[in-house]
């Protein structure tokens, strides 16, 4: 007999975190554009301001490990 969604969910461990992500573009006056952002973990208030996707990735990896 196939398993239903309830049995499948019972076997799967779900780990959730909520974040608020803001991303914007800044012009530096020399025709250059940079993307910036900030992310805040909803439950803890931990915040990171970043200017590279690597920094965002590292923050998320740390918070979700």
Give me the pLDDT at residue 10, please: 65
Instruction: Please give the model's pTM, rounded to 2 decimal places.
Output: 0.68
**16 or 47: which carries more pLDDT confidence?**
47
Instruction: Find the mean pLDDT for residues 40-54.
Output: 93
Token duo for residue 16: 């959730």
């Amino acid at each position: 007999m196939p398993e239903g969604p309830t049995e499948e969910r019972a076997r799967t461990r779900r780990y959730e975190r909520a974040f608020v992500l803001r991303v914007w573009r800044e012009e530096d006056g020399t025709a250059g554009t940079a993307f910036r952002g900030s992310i805040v973990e909803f439950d803890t208030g931990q915040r990171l301001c970043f200017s590279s996707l690597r920094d965002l990735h590292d923050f998320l990896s740390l918070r979700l490990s």
